[in-house]
């Protein structure tokens, strides 16, 4: 992971993105992270790697307090049904372990196999916090910087207004 973190830091520098970074003990859940995040400006996120019933991977990044209707989201993005990707799939697709996934892990998706979904309400805020490939640090970047980074990885973010999705 150290090599990929160095590659991430280099790419952020190349894109002239200087995140605000805090280091903290390993966290595996939002609840564990909240005490550390209180010192960091931005919408705090939860990130899920979802697998479509007929294939395909989606990385969904939403505010921590957002409840997700996975059936409605699957219908919106054209997937039959979603399940949570396994830790093995997460490692193969994004080269991160559970608890460390974020849109920044798209740097490791050279095959462009993962589709990114970002919450519209989150993207309308000035800053967003995510893990930088490890669960021992959190970074705060602007919404525009996050989109610039995603584009630089060759991905396209689908920004979804979850409040407007028809309930399943």
Helix intervals (H) in 104-165:
120-123, 143-152
Which pLDDT score, from 0 to 100, does residue 2 have? 53
Which pLDDT score, from 0 to 100, does residue 108 have? 96
For residue 1, name the pLDDT band (cuts at 50, 70, 90): low
| Percentage of the residues of the chain whose pLDDT score is greater than 70 | 98
Domain count, the chain: 1
Per residue in 117-128, pLDDT tens?
A: 999 999 999 999
Write out the residue range of the structural domain in which residue 113 sits: 2-164
CA distances from 159 to 1, 11, 92, 122, 156 (A): 28, 23, 25, 9, 9
Instruction: Provide the CATH number for the domain around residue 158.
Output: 3.90.960.10
Mean pLDDT of all residues belonging to the chain: 94
Per residue in 48-99, pLDDT tens?
A: 999 999 999 999 999 999 999 999 999 999 998 999 999 999 999 999 999 9
Which pLDDT score, from 0 to 100, does residue 3 have? 73
- C-alpha span between 82 and 57 (Å, rounded): 9
Which pLDDT score, from 0 to 100, does residue 4 have? 86
For residue 30, name the pLDDT band (cuts at 50, 70, 90): confident
């Amino acid at each position: 992971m150290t090599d990929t973190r160095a590659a991430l830091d280099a790419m952020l520098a190349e894109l002239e993105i200087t995140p605000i970074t805090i280091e903290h003990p390993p966290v595996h859940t939002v609840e564990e992270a909240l005490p550390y995040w209180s010192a960091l400006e931005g919408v705090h996120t939860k990130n899920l790697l979802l697998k479509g019933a007929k294939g395909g991977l989606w990385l969904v990044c939403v505010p921590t307090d957002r409840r997700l209707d996975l059936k409605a989201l699957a219908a919106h993005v054209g997937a039959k049904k979603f399940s949570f990707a396994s830790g093995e799939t997460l490692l193969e697709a994004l080269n991160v372990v559970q608890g460390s996934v974020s849109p920044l892990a798209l740097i490791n998706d050279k095959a462009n196999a993962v589709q990114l979904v970002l919450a519209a309400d989150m993207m309308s805020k000035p800053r967003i916090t995510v893990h930088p490939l490890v669960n021992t640090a959190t970074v705060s970047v602007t919404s525009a910087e996050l989109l610039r980074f995603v584009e630089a990885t060759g991905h396209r973010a689908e920004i979804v207004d979850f409040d407007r999705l028809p309930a399943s």
